[in-house]
Structures are given as C-alpha cells and as structure tokens.
Structure 1
C-alpha cells in the first residue's frame, strides 16, 4: 500500500515538473506591463524579463527611477510615470500601453506596486493611515487591472498579483495585512471569471524579503512615527518599553535568504513564461515552512504562537 502511494506521489510530481517546464513561444513578441519598478521586485523583474526578450513596459513613481532603469536596459524596455492612487494617471498609462501593444494585446500585467508602512498596533493609527495603505496596495491595483483587462483578454495573457503570506495570516496591525487579504480575494474571483477567456491569474505570496521599503530601519521609523502621534492614553497603556521591545523584534527580520530578491522574481517570470503556471507561488523558506502551515492551524494555536515571546503592553492584564 505504502509503495503504491509513494509511486502515485512520485508520478504526480514528475507530471507537475514536466508541465511546468513547458514554455510559451515567441516571447520577443509579447508585452508585459509592470507597476512599481523604481526599486525592489519590480525593478529586478523588469531587467530580468528584458533579458528574456520580452517587450517590457515598466512604470515608475519617479522620473529618477525611470531614467536609472532605462540606462540599464535597451529600447525593448520603455518606462512611464504612474501613481496607482490617481485615476487620471492610470488612464494616461492605459492609453500609453494601447499605443504600444496595438492589436497584439498585453500578454502580462504584473501588479507589483505597494507600500508596507505605517505598520503598528491598530490603536496607534488613524483612519488615514489605513486609507493610504488600501489606496496603493488594493484599490490602486484593482483600478489598474480593470483598466488593462481588455488588452490582457485580447492576448489571452496573464495577470500576476503580488500578495503576501500576510494575506493568509495577519500578524500585526495596520492596513498592510488587510490590503493583502483583499488582494487574495480579488485575485481568486478574477481567476475564475477570466478562466472562460483563456486568461490566467496568478498570486505571488512572498515571505519576508528585505528591500528599500521593508528593512528593519524603515519598520522602526514607521513604528516610532505612529507612537509619536498616539494619544497620551495609548502611551500610558503601552509604555515606552513596549516600543523598544517591538523594535528589537523587527531587527531579527534578517534571514539569510531575505536579500535574494530573485527568489521572488523567478516565480513571477515562471508565471509569465510557463504554459501551465501555478495558481500561487510562495517564495521564501519562512513562507513555506512557517507562515503557510500556520495559516491552516486552529486559531488558538496561532494566537499562542504569536503571544509567545511577543512584547506586552505596560498595562496588560
């Protein structure tokens, strides 16, 4: 019995390996639109796809970021300024894309633009802190997707949405986890709707990777700013020691693989080039061995794991 089971499991993985090795043809004729290419995952992916022969349409928030990217590539990569929180900016970028892709349509849309801060206990934050995060990470992504879907459908292409393991298990306050839960929900419904038209929707759910926006220094600076704006009542409840301990915890977020951003961009590239991409990719050993298993655990176990060793407010019971 066990031998039969082992053979079946082996055949399954062999078949999956074979399917995932099949690559789509004529990459040099395909256009891919990527948001958030000033730095981090978007910047590396744009250069990576350029080397694979794609026609890359990269968006940056600043002209400086766009110029640096152009200087590192050829005329097969073009840039445009895009603020995903502004409807007029999205509309202008959509027209820009239409002029370039013509009747071929858009093979790939990679919704990568996002922010990670402010990140702090919910009571320290204001409504505007949540709105800022949702505008970029969720609502902006939705508006970009809806604007470009007709072009993706024409090419029977791919939509790749960058979520996070924090879209499966919420480990801290603020709008980040909330926005990534929303990305998961939007992607799931979109995947089913677009399957009728031959369009594939893929989610990338990275663990912790250190970029310009996710370093411990950035997290600690955001935490301090949120603490400074908190009310006197909140400061009395939590205490200065809580803030110091919280910052020490964030300084531990430096696993050995966290600087290897190609672990994430390789998943994005596979989602765009494979004939049979996965529905979800979870780059990072912390995602595979810790956060994803945790997301399937009973709630009380997850709570115990989060309470163990976590900073405690000064006035906690």
Structure 2
C-alpha cells in the first residue's frame, strides 16, 4: 500500500508541540521512558501507514501520542510545607532511602525501625536533620504499635499527619507451598498484613483530619504466582486487596491510597546471601521425612541456587521506588498503582493477556524454574510408594535380602 507522509507529519507535529510544552513546564523529563514512547510511536506510525487510510492513520497516531504523553506527564506537586509522614521499616532498603529523601525535602519524618541501634537507624541519625524522629516498632507486637500511635499523635498535634508509608515487610522463605511450614505463612501475614492493617486503622483518624495519603509497598508476587514465593506472595496479595478496599472506602474522606509494586531491587535483605543460605539449611533440617523423600534435598538446593541467581540480577538503584513513593505523597492526582523498575510492563501484559501455560513458563524462566522432584524422576519409587512412607511402616513387612 502506498505510504502517506502528510498525515504522519501532522500527527508528529501535534505530538512534538505537546511534548515541547510539557518540557517547558517541567511536566515531562527527558529520559528512557520518553525515548521508549517515541520509538513505539515510530513503530505504530510505520504500521498505520501500511494498514490504514490516511485520515484513520492520522487519528490513531495523534490519539496514541496524546495519551502516551499524558501518561508520562508528571502530576502537579503539592508543597511540602510542614507535612509529617510516618514511614515503617526504615532500618534498610526502600524505607531508609525514602526517609532520607523526604527529610532532605523538608518533611517531618517519623521513621520506625526494628532496633534503634541498628546500622540503618544510626545512619539516619547521623545524616538526617533533627526533624527526623526514630521510633522502635515491631509490627508483630501490639504494644509497639500502640506506642507508635501515641507518639505519632503527640508529635503531629501541630502539623497533622499527612502520610503513612507502609513499607515494612519480610520474606523469610523461598520454597514450594507444600514445603513451607504453616507457621511461616502465619508469620508473613502477621508482619506484611495484620501489622500494616492495625497501624493503618490506628492512624486513620489523623489521616481523615488531614485528608492525607496512604502509600503501601506491595509486590508483583502478590499479583502473580511466582514460583516458591507462596508465603510472601499470599500476604502481599491480601495487603494489596486491603489497600484497594481502603481506596474505595476512604475516597469520601479525601484520603488517596497508592500501592507501589516494585521490581526486584538490591536492598540489604536481598543481598544477604548468608541469611538465605541459613534459611535453606533450617528448611531442610525441619522438613518432614515424607516430604524430604518425595522432593529430595537436591530439589531444595536447586531452588536456592536459582533464587540467588535471580537476586544477582536485581536493580542497584533504589531511586525509582523512592520517586514513586514521593509522587504518591505529593502529586495532586497520584496514581493508584506504581510499577517502578524495568520489565514490569511486559510481565503484567503476559500475566493478564496470554494463556496460563505461557504465563507459568515465563515466570519460571524469569525467576525460578523448579527441577523435577525426586519421586517423579525416572527410576524412583512411585507416588504410591512415597505416600506409603507417610502412613508408617508395614506392620507385616516382607523379609528383606539386606536385613541384618
């Protein structure tokens, strides 16, 4: 089909004018997102010129460019002024980095840590302004949460509490759901869900008064069945659904709720290889005999090796997550969900639009591809034999040629 350069030129002129205006207003930044968007528009332009009539090509390209630039535009920001924010889990990682940035911006930061003498807590004390206050809090202890609530009410009496950043969380086990003790599921729920629920509910009177913000760091593992992240993923799924519910219920009060779904970043806990090795050893030492025989020690070792390899690919720069949290706190119209990090767009597209088999294979190739359990390997005892182990020895065993 003959190409039609003039509709394409008109659409590009409109897109360029919009982009230039946004750049002059500082609503748009030059960077990889903008360059990627322009590359996609160029590909769409090529496709439209070959498949559509001139006016239809003009309409599609112009509308797509307008929508893309609207999505890339930064929402107008509210002034920091004397806003106060409570951030949980500031010993390391996203919490510590966010506390530093918000303090530098002029926020009054209340930062909770597990230990006041932890390296992260001491670092915050040394490098931040006197406005930043450290609070010791363990989300599994109601007394700690109650003390934090009272401290927050007292120290925000004059300014009000503008925001809560639910960042604290933990992932303590990487294993199949069947291999994961029920106690591990409960522990993950206590920290990642119930602790955040209790703290958020306790602070809602202050947040309703300020018509403030709730920002919660969740995980794509709460949206997709990542292999061997059942304990962590189920708790994050519950947390995300809770925040979606709060988002609807608190809308009349003027409270805006955002969820951060980051890719894998190199936080301190991610890089602690010795910690993951120790947890693997504890898992193997405490596995019931039947499960150890059915899956095999090699299976668990393989999972651990693949997990550690995936962590080695984690992103070193935490600023995309910190920027997303900051935008959720200060944007006039914050997004309900943020996806900081590379590759998440493709991952979610595959998860929502491709067949289940392809989704499963993608997650296995991207994260962990489990090996074949021992009981399913050729030459091994059948599943029936493996199940018989769980029921105990045969009361009338046949003589064994090797019995002593």
The alpha-carbon deviation at position 146 of structure 1 amounts to 0.3
Residue 119 (structure 1) aligned with residue 174 (structure 2): yes
Larger Rg: 2
Does the CA contact (< 8 Å) of 1:110 and 1:160 recur in 2?
A: yes
Is the 8 Å Cα contact of residues 266 and 314 (structure 2) preserved in structure 1?
Answer: no
**1:24 aligned residue (51, 73, 78):** 78
Gaps of 5+ in 1: none
Matched with 2:208 is 153
1:81 — aligned with what?
A: 136
Q: Does 1:128 align with 2:150?
A: no
Q: Which has the higher contact order (CA 8 A, sep 6+)?
A: 1
Does 2:115 match 1:62? yes
Q: Residues 103 and 154 (structure 1 numbering): CA distance in 2 closer, same or farther, change over 3 Å?
A: farther
Say if 2:310 is the partner of 1:253.
Answer: yes
- Equivalent residues of 2:175, 2:303 under 8 A apart: no
The TM-score normalised by the length of structure 2 is: 0.74
The structural deviation recorded for 1:10 is: 1.8
Distance 2:231 2:314 in 1: 26
Match of 2:195 in 1: 140
State which drifts further: 78-87 or 119-128. Answer: 119-128
Q: Which of 307, 312, 316 lines up with 2:372 in the alignment?
A: 312
Structure 2 unaligned runs (5+)?
Answer: 1-55, 378-404
8 Å CA contact 2:270–2:311 kept in 1: the answer is no
**Partner Cα separation in structure 2 for residue 149 and residue 125 of structure 1:** 34
User: Which string of whole-angstrom CA distances, capped at 9 and with x for unpartnered residues, describes residues 91-146 of structure 1?
Assistant: 11111011111153211100000001122122222221111111000110111100
Aligned to 2:386: none
How far, CA to CA, are the matches of 2:181 and 2:300 in structure 1?
Answer: 18
Q: What is the root-mean-square deviation of aligned Cα atoms in Å?
A: 1.9
Question: Which range moves more in the overlay, 158-167 or 258-267?
Answer: 258-267
Q: Is the 8 A contact 1:162 1:204 kept in 2?
A: yes
Query: 1:261-300 counterparts in 2 under 5 A?
Result: 261-290=318-347, 292-296=348-352, 297-300=354-357
Kindly state the Cα deviation for residue 255 of structure 1 after the two structures are TM-superposed: 5.9
